[in-house]
Chains A and B, each alone.
Chain A
Amino acid sequence: EPEVTQTPSHQVTQMGQEVILRCVPISNHLYFYWYRQILGQKVEFLVSFYNNEISEKSEIFDDQFSVERPDGSNFTLKIRSTKLEDSAMYFCASSRTGIETQYFGPGTRLLVL
């Protein structure tokens, strides 16, 4: 059964550094999402992406964040200048259509020091 994959599984970075989190959605899916979960808190929506553009973003998704689908298979989340509070588990999800089930990747645990 196809799965959403994410790399790396863990990333440690220094405050102020740029990080790129990578996701490979399920191949025939058209809707893509990033969520994050700070330790001990709920899973929060960051951004949704459809038809090569952002369809919605949350208040968390400020100018330091960007997403890209550079080559038709990868879906990346970039944080330009990381802050301590960006430390969290970041989940990618995809769905075939908007109304269908979102399938989640295993997550990338980001630690900003």
Chain B
Amino acid sequence: AQRVTQPEKLLSVFKGAPVELKCNYSYSGSPELFWYVQYSRQRLQLLLRHISRESIKGFTADLNKGETSFHLKKPFAQEEDSAMYYCALSEADSSYKLIFGSGTRLLVRP
């Protein structure tokens, strides 16, 4: 079964520190991977997807097929980065439904 694992429920860092939110997946085909973010009292929104290979708000994520990982990184965390982060996998050979990880709450302290 396809799965997305985010091992950390909570990640707490100080402002300016590097951040890495871990995501591992299991999928037999070619995965389409995403990071969604949910700020307090806001809707889920796309942060980035691996095929676009762009940096959004200073975040990057590289798909590592060998390690089946798609970790989210930012070199210098800001307080406004505090949010819930969800890694998700899309199944292109079905209905493109998203399979989500359990999420990691990032708390950036001043």
**Residue in B45, B86, B95, B101 whose beta carbon sits within 8 Å of that of A98 in the complex:** B95
Query: Footprint of A on B, CB under 8 Å?
Result: 32, 34, 36, 42-46, 49, 86, 90, 92, 94-103
Within 8 A of B (CB), among A97-112: 98-99, 101-107
Query: Footprint of B on A, CB under 8 Å?
Result: 4, 31, 33, 35, 41-45, 48, 50, 55-56, 91, 93, 95, 98-99, 101-107
Q: Which A residues lie within 8 Å of B95 (CB)?
A: 31, 48, 50, 55-56, 98
List 19 contacting pairs A-B, 8 Å CB cutoff, sorted by A. A4-B43, A31-B95, A42-B86, A42-B103, A43-B100, A44-B100, A45-B98, A45-B99, A48-B96, A48-B97, A55-B94, A98-B96, A99-B32, A99-B90, A101-B46, A101-B49, A102-B96, A103-B46, A105-B43
B96 → A minimal CB distance (Å): 4
Count of A-B residue pairs with CB < 8 Å: 58
Check if B102 sits within 8 Å of A99, measured CB to CB. Answer: no
The CA of A106 and the CA of B41, in the complex, are separated in Å by 9
